[in-house]
Amino acid sequence: MTPGEADESSGDADAACEHLTYRTEADGETFETARAYCTVVERFVRPVRADVCNARYDLAPAEHCEFYREHEGVEDEWLTGDRDDGGRGSGDEADTREP
């Protein structure tokens, strides 16, 4: 399968990150086949990161990519407390350690 080719896990093309490109070379690195390259951090990224960028598996750059979020100025809800649970977390994400 080549980059951008559809499969059952392909995401919504409209939701894909505009900062992802596929290149065969950058910064002195050369490859036979095009690889995922993030223009925000100006480097090649791993395939699992490209899955987020391509909005596969119910992932979305605006929600799940820290590079995208920082570049676009999207605040993390868990830092601002703007979550439905008041920023306290719920279940697995709550810190239950004793002080």
Per the structure, the complete domain to which residue 66 belongs is given by: 14-83
96: in domain = no
Residue 26 and residue 43 in contact, taking contact as beta carbons nearer than 8 Å: yes
Whether pTM > 0.75 for this model: the answer is no
| Calpha distance 91→30 (Å, rounded) | 45
* Structure tokens that stand for 78 in this block: 């868990």
52-88: pLDDT as tens digits? 999 999 898 888 888 888 888 877 665 545 445 444 4
What distance lies between CA 1 and its chain's CA centroid? 21
Report the chain's terminal Cα–Cα distance, integer Å: 51
Would residue 55 count as lying in a domain? Answer: yes
Number of structural domains found in the chain: 1
C-beta separation of 20 from 50 below 8 A: yes
